[in-house]
Amino acid sequence: MRNLSLQEQCWSCKDVIKITALLCPTCHKIQPLREMNEFQRLDLETSFELDLVHLEKQYFQLQRKLHPDNFVGASALEKDFSRLHSAAVNHSYIILKDPLKRAECFLQIQGFSLSDKNIGLEDANLLMEIMEMREAIDVASSSNALAQVLNHARDIFEKGLEDLSHYFVQKVYAHAVKELQHLKYINNIMQECCVQLKKFA
């Protein structure tokens, strides 16, 4: 993880400032976009557990500071910085507010990859469960039948999210990867149910 206690020079007034500074405390100029993870981007602790209300507050606070609307009269360079900051904050916000994307992001920071073939990938029972649910959607001939699959998937999803949280608290990341893989399959199934349900509506 990047050490955010480092210092750098402001590009404009050359004062020494923290690399986390968005605006220079001396000359108030917007600073270039620095490399940091999604959590750091929103000025949050790097942790899966996240207060969504707090996340949203951070998001709006940062956008109020960084949004290109604030830099209409500024130089081309400052406009560029503002655009990049604003886009990066949007991107990080979208990832962090979705539990699955946040989990994947957090695990990547911890050095785990979802495509890691050594972790749980060839779980035949899991794949069978997913395939059976997929086939149930395929043959569903009424909105009732689809709703049944959807409800079943939702139950599994909610239980899985709870398990996932536990694994993060206990820092058993290999288990978290496996549960996240499971949840991604289930999430796709829920989405497909919703798509198919619309056809009946």
Partner 1 sequence: MAYSKKVIDHYENPRNVGSYDKNAVDIGTGLVGAPACGDVMKLQIKVKDGIIEDAKFKTFGCGSAIASSSVITEWVKGKTIDEALTIKNIEIAEHLALPPVKIHCSVLAEDAIRAAVNDYKSKQTNNPQH
**Interface positions, 174-193, toward partner 1 (CB under 8 A):** 181, 184-185, 187-188, 192
Q: For the CB of residue 184, give the shortest distance to partner 1 in the complex, in Å.
A: 4
**37 or 181: whose CB is closer to partner 1?**
181
Q: Which is nearer to partner 1, 117 or 171 (by Cβ)? A: 117
SS3 (DSSP) at 173: helix
Identify whether the C-beta of residue 47 lies closer than 8 Å to the C-beta of residue 110.
no
Site for partner 1 in 112-131 (CB under 8 A): 114-115, 121-122, 124, 126-128, 130-131
CA–CA separation, 123 vs 178, rounded Å? Answer: 10
* Chain centre distance of CA 124: 28
Q: Which is nearer to partner 1, 38 or 104 (CB)?
A: 104
Torsion sign across C-alpha atoms 59, 75, 30, 8: positive
Amino acid at 155: D
Binding site for partner 1 (CB under 8 A): 114-115, 121-122, 124, 126-128, 130-131, 134-135, 181, 184-185, 187-188, 192
